[in-house]
């Protein structure tokens, strides 16, 4: 089946009079299908494929549809890192401020107190190192988000060129112009970029907060993601609905 798809893709590239950008979109689509099949991956979300005669079945339509699914997957991975991996580590770092010995605390011996402090410092350093690793993974996801936005920008540029400096007269899917997909992607990218910057500060400062109360503020900021707005989340769901990944209620 996939060799047949490969032959079809080669035939289209060889015989079509479309421009260079159009040929790249076709080749990209075939490579993506082959990689998913080799790795045993299924689609991010089960949804019917568009008919071959619809604009959504064009190379641009397929690419936009894949980008929408990739956005869904990237944000799901981000949330898992923040909540499942990062929150437990951030909680331990913040709680270390609450468990830190006070000056008037009595200890059996100075030697025992020193050993306890050394153990606490080692555990705190380990948790901070692991929290930095979580941040590095988040940074990798942001780079993926930036590539998705660049891809949609390229689709818009290609459409503008193909239609002689005009936008396509009919939408790729239901009602959105192609530029709306790029605008939503750029909005999401900007907000998650701010979240990454915030987490860089939290990772650096959480273990050194001057008071336990400030540590709790840092922990709350880690969990609630204040820069990601409800409007952006709604726009993502609208994009998934527009591209057919979500059923219209």
Domain spans in the chain, listed from the N-terminal domain onward = 1-43, 58-101+108-242
Residues with Cβ within 8 Å of residue 112, at least 6 apart in sequence: none
Single pTM value for the model = 0.72
Region 191-198: mean pLDDT is: 97
Residues with Cβ within 8 Å of residue 60, at least 6 apart in sequence: 25, 155, 158, 159, 172, 178
Of the candidates 176, 147, 138, the one whose C-alpha atom is nearest the C-alpha of residue 159 is 176
pLDDT tens digits along 69-97: 999 999 999 999 999 999 999 998 888 76
Which contacts (CB < 8 Å, 24+ apart) does range 229-235 have? 229/191, 232/184, 232/187, 232/188, 232/191, 235/184, 235/187, 235/188
How far apart are alpha carbons 98 and 110 in whole angstroms?
A: 21
CA atoms within 13 A on the CB side of 213: 0
Residue 44 has pLDDT above 60, yes or no: no
pLDDT for 211: 84
pLDDT for 102: 54
Phi-psi region of 244 (alpha: psi -120 to 50; beta: other; left: phi over 0): left
pLDDT for 215: 86
Top-confidence range, 24-38, 84-98, 143-157: 143-157
DSSP 169: S
DSSP string, 72-129: HHHHHHHHIIIIIIIHHHHHHHHHHHHHSPPTT---S-HHHHHHHHHHHHHHHHHHHH
**Band of residue 237 on the pLDDT scale cut at 50, 70, 90:** very high
Q: What percent of the chain has pLDDT over 90?
A: 47
Residue 186 has pLDDT above 60, yes or no: yes
H or E element at residue 229: none
pLDDT for 124: 86
Listed range (37-51, 86-100, 117-131) with the worst mean pLDDT: 37-51
Count of beta carbons in the 10 Å neighbourhood of residue 31: 12
DSSP 170: S
**Band of residue 19 on the pLDDT scale cut at 50, 70, 90:** very low
The CA–CA distances, whole Å, from 11 to 17, 48, 79, 245 equal 12, 26, 42, 29
Contact status, residue 61 vs residue 172, Cβ threshold 8 Å: yes
| Residue, of 31 and 62, whose pLDDT is higher | 62
């Amino acid at each position: 089946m996939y060799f047949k798809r490969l032959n079809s893709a080669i035939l289209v590239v060889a015989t079509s009079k479309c421009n260079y950008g159009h040929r790249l979109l076709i080749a990209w689509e075939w490579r993506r299908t082959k990689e998913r099949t080799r790795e045993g991956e299924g689609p991010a979300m089960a949804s019917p494929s568009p008919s071959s005669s619809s604009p959504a079945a064009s190379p641009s339509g397929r690419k936009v549809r894949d980008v929408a699914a990739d956005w869904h997957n990237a944000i799901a991975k981000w949330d898992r890192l923040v909540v499942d991996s990062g929150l437990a580590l951030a909680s331990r770092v913040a709680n270390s401020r609450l468990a830190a010995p006070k000056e008037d605390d009595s200890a059996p011996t100075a030697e025992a107190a020193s050993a306890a402090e050394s153990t606490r410092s080692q555990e705190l350093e380990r948790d901070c190192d692991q929290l930095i690793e979580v941040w590095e993974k988040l940074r990798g996801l942001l780079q993926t988000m930036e590539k998705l936005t660049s891809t949609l920008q390229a689709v818009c540029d290609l459409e503008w060129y193909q239609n002689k400096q005009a936008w396509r007269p009919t939408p790729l899917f239901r009602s959105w112009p192609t530029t709306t997909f790029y605008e939503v992607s750029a909005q999401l990218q900007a907000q998650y970029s701010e979240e990454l910057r915030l987490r860089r500060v939290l990772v650096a400062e959480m273990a050194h907060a001057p008071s336990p109360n400030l540590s709790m503020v840092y922990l709350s900021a880690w969990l609630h993601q204040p820069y990601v707005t409800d409007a952006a989340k709604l726009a993502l769901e609208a994009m998934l609905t527009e591209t057919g990944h979500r059923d219209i209620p």
